Amino acid sequence: MREILVVLHSGRETNRRTAATVAHRLASSGVRLRVLGDEWAEVRNGDLPAEMTPRVVDGRPGCAEGAEMVLVLGGDGTLLRAAEMARPVGVPLLGVNLGRVGFLAEAEQESLDTALDAIIDGGCAVEERMTLDAVARVDGEVLARTWALNEATVEKSSRERILEVVLEVDGRPVSAFGCDGVLCATPTGSTAYAFSAGGPLVWPQVEALLLVPSNAHALFARPMVIGPDSEVAIEVDPDGPPAVLDCDGRRTVVLPPGARVELARGATPVRMVRLDGQPFADRLVRKFDLPVRGWRGAARTSGSR
């Protein structure tokens, strides 16, 4: 039997009603849901045939194994949570935005029927998004290993202290400065925390890493775009305060003074479903409500090239 995993932001009644609608629509087409019990507890889907009753799973990394895809009903935070379940087993994500901006989502609530048609018909286009692998070390010993889809940040953990760091790229020191933190982001994450910190917007098709200092006390602490296969290290001053490594706002590691965080392109990408091939520029305009009044477009004549 065909099966998809649904990850739901269940905190709103409207979202729960949408989830029930999804369950009935897919069940009528022979697609059963795999769900997380705590999310689905208040979803009213009791009149489904017994064989189509959603199957409850535990939400651990890899619990999407065997599913055709992961359907995410919520915002960006819900999709980042779902990525933990899908990434280890290579199952693609399809996000339907039920929140506010929802930049990672492929569809909006008003286009939910189109998304469900694509699931039922099968054959959706899938693209791979870069990830980051992060290793935290203390005195050469591994403290933790983790990963990120959007960004990995090394940030101060004490509000009243400045975090002193040394930034290294490809084994060479680049700059040392005091700051609130340093972000290393993927192109996917360029529209998230890195954007708020003053970093550039990077089209998802570009393979690159972004380095964005946050509130740095230095003349040379500008955002940098570096090669996708470059290796980055952020060293925390051994005589300064502790810090924290935060990945996607979901996985954190406490860093003692003198810790070193090494960042590189992730070995395992996140796979995401594409529905309509909409240009990234159109998504920027829609999500950020950018002013485009007055645009006339490029002149198109028979002699133009």
Cite the active site residues. Answer: 76
Torsion region of 22: left, alpha or beta (phi above 0 gives left; psi -120 to 50 gives alpha)? alpha
Read out DSSP for 10-54?
TTSHHHHHHHHHHHHHHHTTTEEEEEEHHHHTT---TTS-GGGSP
Cβ contacts of 214 within 8 Å, gap of 6 or more: 153, 155, 179, 180, 181, 182, 183, 197
Tell me the C-alpha to C-alpha distance, in Å, between residue 166 and each of 67, 172, 178.
44, 10, 9
Token code pair at residue 79: 């999709």
At position 231, the amino acid (one-letter code) is E
Pairing outcome for strands 172-179 and 163-169: antiparallel
CA distance 223 to 246: 19
CB-count burial class (<10 Å; 0-12, 13-18, 19+) for 230 = middle
Closest CA to 70 of 38, 103, 92: 92
Q: Report the amino acid identity of residue 108.
A: E
263/229 Cα distance (integer angstroms):
10
Which pair of tokens denotes residue 34?
């795999």
Residues near 259 by beta carbon (within 8 Å), at least 6 away in sequence: 136, 137, 138, 143, 235, 236, 242, 243
Q: Which residues pair with 217 in a beta bridge?
A: 178
